[in-house]
Amino acid sequence: MERREMLKLIALYTGAAMIGGEFLLAGCKAPTGEDITFSDKVKSLLNEVGETILPRTDTPGAKDADVAKVMEVVVRDCYWPEHQKVFVEGIRQIDEEAKGRFGKTFMEISPEQRKELLIALEEEAKKFNEKVEEKDKPVREKMDKESKGYDFIASPRHYYTMMKQLTMLAYFSSKECLTEAFEYIPVPGRYDGAYKIKPGDKLFSG
Amino acid sequence: MADNIYDAIVIGSGIAGGWAAKELAEKGLKVLMLERGRNIEHIKDYVNANKDPWVFEHRGERTREMINTHPVLKRDYPLNEKVLDMWVNDLESPYIEDKRFDWYRGYHLGGRSLLWGRQSYRWNKWDFEANGKEGIAVDWPIRYEDLAPWYSYVERFAGIQGSYEALEVLPDSEFLPAMEMNIVEKDLARNLKEKYKGSRHMFIGRSANITKPMPEQNRVNCQYRNKCWLGCPYGAYFSTQSSTLPAAKATGNLSLEVNKIVTRLLYDKDSKKATGVETLDAINNQTYEYKAKIIFVCASAFNSTWILMNTATDIWPDGLGSSSGELGHNVMDHHFRVGAGGSVEGYEEYIEYGRRSTGIYIPRFQNIYGDKRNYLRGYGYQGGAGRGRGVPVAEMLGAEFKDAQFKPGKWYMGITAFGEMLPYHENTIKLDKEKKDKWGLPVLRMDVELKENELNMRKDMMAEGKAMLEAMGVKDAYEYDWGYAPGMGIHEMGTARMGRDPKTSVLNGNNQVWDAPNVFVTDGACMTSASCVNPSLTYMAMTARAADFAVKELKKMNL
């Protein structure tokens, strides 16, 4: 999948521009960020969150693609410190939410319960993000007007949105997805602008 | 060569420099090509060209470090994990922006020929006449007819794919077989022609991607990976490395030095000629001199002018060519990032196989054949139709949501206009007296802006785009202006323009500096106006023409 296309898709389904992505450019004050590593326990949690969003069906799921590994690298190297903080805090919060709702940690609840929880978070995040965008809007517009839009850093969105974005980024660029859910053709060799498909045919990636 | 003496020195190894080296070496001159940056060896050094997408650690994302160390590149798409080593280090080579100017540079062997968009269009006859007719800036000293045979010459070697359209507004090149439009583009093109009664056209974007093997150059035809930016292991797009450099090397007449920053030309005021160049080694900071009979300055528009500005300052404080009062003036670019898009109904049983490395082109239709607008000149559109991925479902997560992402989405169509920018004397680059780069060399100061003509044009670019898509049958058409800052087109032009009079131009009609006839400037710096089409093909033709002239003059002992 083309990178641009993927970022558009992620923005569409998370209602927020990709953090560190090309919609969100730059930093003027050169923050260094934390050298973040996730424990195996945290990685398992993130993989299960990912699997709830993109579960294995007749194609590989988020866990198969080990999305947590990419999440760690992107949060470590691409996230601004204030976004890192929200993400790391979110790892704790998602367990709190699970405990509040089901009396158990996220890892302990059933896949159905996980899905129920994330659907609730999806709603919560939507409202939360709308407020953040409202707050960011004048700043963004002012910087755009001054032709400095590239230095605008969006305020952190809801931690769930970050997790969903990174799940999608990691999954849709993974070997598992690109070679199994799609037909991977690194060297097409020719172009056909009217290639016929039937419903259910795999699309191409490369 | 003994004592660093050559017949010709070529400064720069990008599109213009590569052509200069090839032409001069093939005509028997002993040529030295100087490149300020590192070596990039064809194929071997395209380190990311064959990597699978999942191999990139950040999956193509920008890291904080990349953003913090690339204050210019970060402003637009050029900054990303996969092509980072093909762009300049912004921190080493800063510049000053009196007004925002995005300067995307490639400081390495091959320059931006490795990273260019490969769109290749001839100028038309009106492009060369407009300045003179409209009283803008100065008249071009050449006409389309002067360049036409040289367009043919470079096209046959570089390899340009495209379709023959027989349009005055966009003369045909010597084409390789055209890449195909997809089924949606073909139908939309037919609709466009019908709706505008044959006065508007849409066809495949002409590009320097070869569609037939060129074994004589060891180049394989395009494999439809659309990964040109990573460097092509097939040599399927034109670059210095894939095309002109091997030809120049094959003559046995070429010497190449990398990591050599030309700091000035050596100028002899008695003979009124340059005698060579002074260079600074980018690695060891040593100064070296090289001598030659002729010098081709092809360092990219602004850097070519920077070299002139630093030359013969004992005679002209503002440098060689400044006697015209025009050196550093008349900066141009193509303004863009404005256009329209929408979706196309139907075609559900079709997708594209392969990833085409060009889009469609809609040539200029404004201010020609009696059409009149509230601005001068015009614009063309680039764009294309493609099929999206994923269909909307009620669920925002889970199995149904995931599986919906693997289904083909709607077809969409988008176009972006590229507009001509007029040459304004007050749009300038200057040498800054204070700030220095990593090597202690003075840096440039940019003062460039769009004016009323361009701003009026932008409104039209947007409105016409939407109206045209709607006329073609595109649904839910929307228009956009993402905002443009000079430089974003990466088509810097002007600052050492050609002309008919040494009092108002830096170069004559053969790209010779009026004040030093053995110095030729043939890259974007020489441009007297900008047209609205991508400029690289014109630099190729201009360079080949000037090289031919230079060698003939040398033989006549005129240089």
Q: Do A191 and B353 touch (CB under 8 A)?
A: yes
Predicted local distance difference test score (pLDDT) of residue A9: 67
Tell how many helices (H) and how many strands (E) occur in chain B: 10, 20
* Nearest chain B CA: its distance from A186 CA (Å): 7
Per-residue model confidence as pLDDT tens digits over B322-357: 999 999 999 999 999 999 999 999 999 999 999 999
Number of Cβ pairs closer than 8 Å across A and B?
Answer: 171
Which residues partner with B446 through β-bridges?
B97, B429
Q: Do A189 and B224 touch (CB under 8 A)?
A: yes
Q: Do A194 and B183 touch (CB under 8 A)?
A: yes
- What contacts A183, CB < 8 A, 6 or more positions away? A202, A203, A204, A205
Q: What percent of chain B has pLDDT over 90?
A: 97
Per-residue model confidence as pLDDT tens digits over B148-176: 999 999 999 999 999 999 999 999 999 99
Q: Which helix (H) or strand (E) holds B350?
A: strand B350-353
The predicted model scores a pTM of: 0.95
Q: How far apart are CA B542 and CA B154, in angstroms?
A: 10
Predicted local distance difference test score (pLDDT) of residue B84: 83
Predicted local distance difference test score (pLDDT) of residue B66: 93
Q: How far apart are CA B496 and CA B86, in angstroms?
A: 27
- Smallest CA–CA distance from B484 into chain A, residue: A147
Of chain A residues 35-64, which have a CB less than 8 A from chain B?
A: 52-55, 57, 59, 61
Q: Where are the alpha helices (DSSP H) in B91-208?
A: 125-134, 144-158, 183-195
- Smallest CA–CA distance from A176 into chain B, residue: B54
DSSP A69-123: HHHHHHHHHTS-HHHHHHHHHHHHHHHHHHHHHHSS-TTTS-HHHHHHHHHHHHH
Residue by residue, pLDDT tens for chain A (206 residues) are: 566 666 666 676 766 666 554 333 333 334 557 778 999 999 999 999 999 999 999 999 999 999 999 999 999 999 999 999 999 999 999 999 999 999 999 999 999 999 999 999 999 999 999 999 999 999 999 999 999 999 999 999 999 999 999 999 999 999 999 999 999 999 999 999 999 999 999 999 99
Of chain A residues 129-158, which have a CB less than 8 A from chain B?
A: 144, 147-150
Chain B positions touching A204 (Cβ under 8 A) are: 351, 353
Pairing, β B516-521 against β B287-297: parallel
Q: Among residues A31, A72, A186, which one has the least CA distance to residue B48?
A: A186
A15 touches chain B (CB under 8 A): no
How high does pLDDT run on average in chain B?
97
Q: Check: CB of residue B520 under 8 Å from CB of residue B296.
A: yes
Handedness of CA B39, B261, B229, B17 (dihedral sign): negative
Q: Do B406 and A164 touch (CB under 8 A)?
A: no
Most A-contacting residue of B225, B405, B407, B482 (CB-CB within 10 A), to test interface: B405
B213: tokens are: 């093997």
Handedness of CA B546, B550, B553, B559 (dihedral sign): positive
Q: Do B354 and A190 touch (CB under 8 A)?
A: yes
Q: Is the pLDDT of residue B364 over 60?
A: yes
Of B75, B349, B389, the CB nearest to A196: B349
Q: Do B406 and A59 touch (CB under 8 A)?
A: yes
Q: Do B63 and A20 touch (CB under 8 A)?
A: yes
Reported ipTM: the value is 0.93
